[in-house]
Structure 1
Amino acid sequence: MLRVRLVLGYMGWCVRLGARPWRYFQLNAPWFNEERGLFSKRDMDALIPDRWRLPQQPLADRAMPENWPQFLKPEWGQNARGIHLVRNPEEYGALRKKLLADSPVPYLAQAAAPGRREFEVFWIRDPGDTRRAAILSVTETLNQSDQDWPVNSIRNADTRHQTLSLSPDQEQKLWRWMGELPPFRIARAGLRADSMEAMLDGDFHIMEINLFVPMPLTLLDEDLPRKQRHAFIGRAMKALAALTRALPKDQPPKRVFWPMFFLNYRIAP
């Protein structure tokens, strides 16, 4: 229902502002790999500054990873679909063989990120000044199980989310770091750090960047009052519609929706 509310809110603001809603899928089109028909995690990884990047390699590579544990993940996916944890070379070898034989999409091996806490940073850029964020929210992802390396997602019953309140100064510090990434128009970045203070100081690692219909996870915070949730949807969808209207007319269009739509159903849960 949250996605329905987001879509309806976005469509409503597009009508009010005179934006063309089908152009939503062109917002991050400059980073869409047309040849492969996906938003490639390998492409995203290459855009992350070295100090925040995790060791990562194609699963097809014969070299054995140097660090453990490793997360094996499809080169594109959402909501942690198809992600597996392996803790040693034996587990890695057995699962690697199976995935290379059966998976319809290429897989990557990514070292587990250091840091005790997991954060999701969501933003929509300001259409009037793309150096700024019109919407910036931070949600901590928590896990209630006793697993040391859980795969958190909306599909994991032990996963819950907690919205963090940042002061204007803290938002400015965080946006300074996100501003070192390419100018994605709407995105959600998954980070790991030892604390919120460490994250604000730039001491974190980026696990993943989601550019295709990223869900603002603050809406999954069960403690967030309904009135506050609705207010966030209104602000965010208004900003998104305005950003859609402001898309440069000379930006080359790309076919994004249908390749991503069909790819999503090729990935195992």
Structure 2
Amino acid sequence: MLLRALMVMLYLLHCLRQRVKPWLFFQLNADYFNETKGIFSKLDIDRFIPATWRLNQFRDTGIEQPESFPVFVKPEWGQNSVGIRRAGSQVQLDQIRAQRPAGNVPYLIQEAASGSREFEVYIIPGDMEEDFSVLSVTEAINLSGEKLPVNSINNRETRYWDMTGELSEEQQQTLWQNLRSVGKFRMARFGIRANSLDELMSGHFHIFEINLFLPMPLVLLSDNVSLARKISIMNNVTARLAYVTGTVPETGSRKSVFFRKLKVHRENRAAVTKSPVHEGA
């Protein structure tokens, strides 16, 4: 919470210095916002992922069944893994469906990725389309011993470890070139599973999540990054975000992203609270 508050303060300061309107921040990825649903739809964004990196995912109507298990049942939109549960069998999936309270929150079923390691890649593009200004690779490590845990900042068993320094400039550029092919995001955090850093670099991975709304660079939570370094990273990230915000056209229609997302987030939270059993994601 303190990190987020400091990031907001630094962002506002950089906006003031650069004479940028900070409320335009919520328009950064508005091109991908589904106004009909009032969300950044996981199904919409899924279509941009190349087939080789995409996981099978479909709307959970209770009729269509997965071809294999385990699978993850998740809200069509959510933050910090709220409401995500893992089903290892048809019996568990049926239990999850039965426990889910009635409401307007749509759920998806996503196949589990085969990669043994989980990486969170945060990116902000550079001035030139072929380059990046910010890129960090953070590994999510779960201490529970589970094979396919639901990692998040709310999971007490999840730890983060900065891996960016393990990559050469050339490798970072290769990763950027791969991820920029997914979409022209002004900022994004990719959730990726791969068996190793080498496989991540060679394009042998699966993308299980793309966060386009308020994504935090999880390097800021890494155990192997000093406080002084975290503050330096925050300053660099917020300065760049202020700059990118200044590139949002001031003319044309605006999408009501913030308040509609806030409404859906509250609905998701309420649905999880009402559920008799939910994973501590």
TM-score computed with the length of structure 2 as normaliser? 0.92
Residue in 1 that maps onto 2:97: 96
Residue in 2 that maps onto 1:29: 30
Equivalents in 1 of 2:251, 2:129: separation in Å?
A: 17
Residue in 2 that maps onto 1:115: 115
**Secondary structure at the residue paired with 2:268?**
coil
**Secondary structure at the residue paired with 1:181?**
coil
Q: CA RMSD in A?
A: 1.2
CA contact (8 A) 1:104 1:267 kept: no
Equivalents in 2 of 1:227, 1:154: separation in Å?
A: 21
Q: Map of 1:118-157 to 2, 5 A cutoff?
A: 118-126=118-126, 128-157=127-156
Mind listing any 5+ residue stretches in structure 2 that lack a counterpart?
273-281
Evaluate the alpha carbon distance shift between residue 252 and residue 131 of structure 1 in structure 2; reply closer, same or farther with a 3 A threshold: farther
Equivalents in 2 of 1:82, 1:151: separation in Å?
A: 10
CA contact (8 A) 1:113 1:207 kept: yes
Deviation, 1:250, is 4.0
Question: Structure 1 residue 14 and structure 2 residue 15: aligned?
Answer: yes
Equivalents in 1 of 2:125, 2:219: separation in Å?
A: 17
Equivalents in 2 of 1:174, 1:37: separation in Å?
A: 31
Deviation, 1:61, is 5.2
Residue in 1 that maps onto 2:235: 234
Q: May I ask how many residue pairs the two structures share in their alignment?
A: 267
Deviation per CA, 1:37-96: give whole Å up to 9, x if none. Answer: 000011111111100000111111512100210100000001110001111111112222
Higher mean C-alpha displacement, 151-160 vs 129-138: 129-138
Q: Map of 1:247-266 to 2, 5 A cutoff?
A: 247-250=248-251, 252-266=253-267
Mind listing any 5+ residue stretches in structure 1 that lack a counterpart?
none
Equivalents in 2 of 1:170, 1:200: separation in Å?
A: 7
Higher mean C-alpha displacement, 152-161 vs 57-66: 57-66
Q: Map of 1:44-193 to 2, 5 A cutoff?
A: 44-60=45-61, 62-99=63-100, 101-126=101-126, 128-164=127-163, 165=165, 166-193=167-194
Deviation, 1:131, is 3.3
Residue in 1 that maps onto 2:276: none
**Secondary structure at the residue paired with 1:169?**
helix
CA contact (8 A) 1:59 1:96 kept: no
Question: Structure 1 residue 211 and structure 2 residue 225: aligned?
Answer: no
Equivalents in 2 of 1:172, 1:260: separation in Å?
A: 32
**Secondary structure at the residue paired with 1:258?**
helix
Give the aligned residue type for 1:104: N
Deviation, 1:222, is 2.3
Deviation per CA, 1:112-142: give whole Å up to 9, x if none. Answer: 111110000001122x223321111000000
Deviation, 1:251, is 5.0
TM-score computed with the length of structure 1 as normaliser? 0.96
CA contact (8 A) 2:136 2:219 kept: yes
Equivalents in 2 of 1:186, 1:251: separation in Å?
A: 21
